Structure 1
Amino acid sequence: MHELFEFPADGAGLRRAFANFPSGVVAVCAEIGGIPHGLVVATFVPVSLDPPLVSFCVQNTSTTWPRLADATHLGLSLLGTDQQDAARSLGTREGDRFAGLRVHRGSGEALFVDGASAWIEGVPEAQVPAGDHTVVILRIHRLAARADVDPLVFHGSRFRRMHAVEATRVAG
């Protein structure tokens, strides 16, 4: 028998329940006026194939998002398993978030973190208020991926690596 835990539907309870769902870790970056700006999100979702859209959520208290929101292009780096330090650095509220990070530029102001498992370049198309966050919808203009880099995953309030298991077919 499996033990079931109930949590109140408040911030603390939601945080505990949501920790059971793994998510990718994505750096959202741009270079504006010659200065790199970036933040990290774990709320990245593919939205549409036609037109090509993705979304991510940003806390309304973010002091970085207002700088990124007006960028001509944003660079999304889907961080790889060896990029836990990059995720921590871009997620800090103090100091130089880009210290020690290798980056490359895309179109417009898009900025990418080297070594990521995938890169998406796009233009913010919409911002939708959603409680204590804003849902940002990004129209994709370019993308690239590396098959040799596994994605970094956030699960159980910590960074993890994915472990592949052999899928078995169920007769139907």
Structure 2
Amino acid sequence: MNKPIENILPMLRRFAYSLTGNPADADDLVQTTLEKILNKGVPSGVDETRWAFKVCRNVWIDEYRSRKVRQNAVLKPELQEPQTASEHQQFDHKETLAHVNKAMNTLPDEQRAILSLVAVQGMSYKEVASAMEIPVGTVMSRLSRARVALLDMMKPYQIGAGL
């Protein structure tokens, strides 16, 4: 890789977190991504950052089902510790985040990945199109559908500003 890994790592970790919604799973995803990149290398003439995002997305798709099983086990009420009155506000924030993660997980993979790259990573439509090897118009339409779907799913929780 021409760029040092430490320059790509923070962006890759944010992207992985936006896909998984869980810091531990994001770390696992980044580690697996880096292992694949270091073992197989980056094709010549390909931007290392874009390649890292593509590999990360593909690894995540491969591991999506196992991650979802782990996530469902964590969300079961019988596995949660009892909440105290002082934890009420923190619980509300965690509950809201859980609703956002659940809504994100219901989006089709293509929409979720594009929403993550644009909203979390701050990539331009052109950069996303290049990284995912799709036309810019496809990025725009998938992003629009993802935003509308996410806002509709979040209406019962009265959230949605900034998406």
What TM-score, normalized by structure 2, do the two folds share? 0.26
Determine which structure has the larger helix proportion and give its number. 2
Q: Which of the pair has the greater relative contact order for Cα pairs under 8 Å at 6+ separation?
A: 1
